[in-house]
Amino acid sequence: MIFSTFQTEMMSEKIQDKIAKWLNGSFDQSAKDEIKKLQVENPGFLQDAFYKNLEFGTGGLRGLMGVGTNRINKYTVGMCTQGFANYLIKSFGNNPISVVVGHDSRNNSRFFAETTAQVFAANGIKVFLFEQLRPTPEISFAIRYLNCQAGVVCTASHNPKEYSGYKAYWNDGGQLVPPHDTNVIKEVEKINSIDEVQWNGLEKNITLIGRDIDEAYLEMIKGLSIFPEIIKKQHDLKIVYTPIHGTGITLIPEVLKQFGFTNISVVQEQAVPDGNFPTVVYPNPEESEAMALGLKKAEEADADILLGTDPDSDRVGIGVKDNFGKWILLNGNQTAVLAFNYMMESRKEKAIAKANDMVISTIVTTEMINEIARVNQVKCYTVLTGFKWIAELVKEKEGIENYVIGGEESFGLMIGDRVRDKDAISAVAILCEMAAVEKEKVRSLFQKLISLYTQYGFYKEHLISFTKKGMDGQQQIEAMMAGYRENPPAMIAESRVVKILDYKLQIGKDLQTKDQWKIELPKSNVLQFVLEDGSKISIRPSGTEPKIKFYFSVRADLNYESDFEIVNAELKKRINSIVESLKL
């Protein structure tokens, strides 16, 4: 057997041992045939498929589909579910245990969901299995609505078509956090053979669910509306929506109608759920290419707002017309600023704001949110990247503080506490309501954003990602992080680095005063450099993709709305200077 030369002999032996177990074990013949084919045709790919076991990241289990321990397939899904089942039984003892299982539009998602349901059922756990594809946030909602102990949704969110995944949830409807995530992994690692997985039996434990949960979920979202009377007047707001071949088509047109909107156009080329995502390379509303058909339709229809959701409908992207009438896509930070401000501002205007209201942002999201909250006298918490941390804090503050909205720059919002993950279904509804409110004031969402910049400061953010696939890619990412950690830059773009925040070491340093403090957040492999001019650079490996991400944030005053283009150009130049200085 031939492997790449950079692989050590020790690792090669481990990989060969794993491969031998698959070839000699109780795996189906098609899996064995695929391994034999790869041994001859693509040994490097085979090595990557077996060099490690998939682990939970910030978004759960996610990877390429195919044979191997480092791939999503029947066996890795089954072993993961068996480990999860063992942990649930240990955690809840003799008490009845029930779980919700759902899936998105990806290839094999239904098969993986049924496999998951069968393994849970065979372990004596009651399973509520969605009869067809559904948005991820609805699975989170259903866990709490049905009083379940856990849940699983088979999805790879916004990743390309070759990927699949497995998001695991706890009884609060949030994704697994410590100690549950590591404890589940430990239980999975105890399973040395697929023969230890209970694959079949007790199918009577599986109950199909669908429309009844839809209705409860939609009714919950409808209750989030703050100005239904304005929607009634602006019911013909021109809305263009694309589900990008995903699950959003199942509920978003309906929720918009229930809110009272009557002029909804769906991008038909992307309306049918399809795991091959035939019209896009990346089914991600962060990508302009994925929103291109939507932008074309929005322009043709002279729409007021464009919205797009990813395959499992937890991310939302929006398009608006700028001051020149040109259609543009807002980034995740801009969308979050508009949504956070709307929830705080409109609640005050409607006299439903509470003294203990709180909102939650993340460490790589625009600090403009913190400023808006400060001025509005609303408590703003900052957590690590990932909605599991937002959900965890909501649970911690339950009954003490009133959670209103949470979100992060990665096109995710969580409005209200009935769903404990990012929810593009409710976000689309509220963003459209927000557009209706602004239209009632004879103003566009873009104009509203600029007015917020004049009020709170013009914050501009930028993101650069580098994809590093495979085992070698992971090593490159680790080396890059180690380099920045061990030899941090003293100057970036002619501005001194005055603070370094290391979330892995949980240490913050002020390089001017020499003060040092403990960062009171769980450990995370993130570095932040704060510059003398107020700019901030954040560096972190992605928890769900083979990427390392660089986040840039700069700020300036915008005294007059008419100066927007000038200040925007200045901030863009500053970001470019930082990027060049880091030689990215």
Interatomic CA distance for residues 476 and 473, integer angstroms? 5
Please, are residues 31 and 19 in contact by the beta-carbon 8 Å criterion?
no
Interatomic CA distance for residues 313 and 101, integer angstroms? 16
Please, are residues 368 and 456 in contact by the beta-carbon 8 Å criterion?
yes
Please enumerate in sequence order all residues whose Cβ is within 8 A of that of 531, keeping only pairs 6 or more positions apart, or say none: 492, 493, 495, 496, 497, 498, 537
Q: Which two tokens stand for residue 154?
A: 């088979």
Interatomic CA distance for residues 404 and 347, integer angstroms? 10
Task: Give the CA count within 13 Å in the CB-facing half-sphere of 344.
Answer: 27
Q: Are strands 357-362 and 402-408 parallel, antiparallel or unpaired?
A: parallel
Interatomic CA distance for residues 77 and 197, integer angstroms? 10
Task: Give the CA count within 13 Å in the CB-facing half-sphere of 219.
Answer: 8
Please, are residues 246 and 104 in contact by the beta-carbon 8 Å criterion?
yes
Three-state SS annotation for 154-179: ECCCCCCCCEEEEEEEECCCCECCCC
Q: Which two tokens stand for residue 30?
A: 């098609």
Q: Which two tokens stand for residue 509?
A: 């340093």
Burial grade of 91 (CB within 10 A; 0-12, 13-18, 19 or more): middle
User: Scanning the structure block, which residue is given the tokens 């070839």?
Assistant: 23
Q: Which two tokens stand for residue 557?
A: 């005053």
Please enumerate in sequence order all residues whose Cβ is within 8 A of that of 168, keeping only pairs 6 or more positions apart, or say none: 56, 60, 61, 84, 150, 151, 152, 175, 176, 181, 184
Q: What is the dihedral of CA 140, 145, 148, 153, to 10 degrees?
A: -20
Please enumerate in sequence order all residues whose Cβ is within 8 A of that of 325, keeping only pairs 6 or more positions apart, or say none: none
Q: How many residues does the chain have?
A: 584
Please, are residues 315 and 284 in contact by the beta-carbon 8 Å criterion?
yes
Residues annotated as part of the active site: 157
Interatomic CA distance for residues 2 and 47, integer angstroms? 9
Strands (E), 186-271: 206-209, 239-242, 264-266
Q: Which two tokens stand for residue 326?
A: 């040109």
Please, are residues 150 and 171 in contact by the beta-carbon 8 Å criterion?
yes
Strands (E), 193-285: 206-209, 239-242, 264-266
- Tell me phi and psi for residue 277, to 5 degrees: 45, 65
**Which three-class secondary structure state does DSSP give residue 385?**
coil
Query: How large is the angle between the packed helices 424-440 and 332-349, nearest 10 degrees?
Result: 60
Q: What is the dihedral of CA 15, 21, 26, 32, to 10 degrees?
A: 50
Interatomic CA distance for residues 546 and 469, integer angstroms? 5
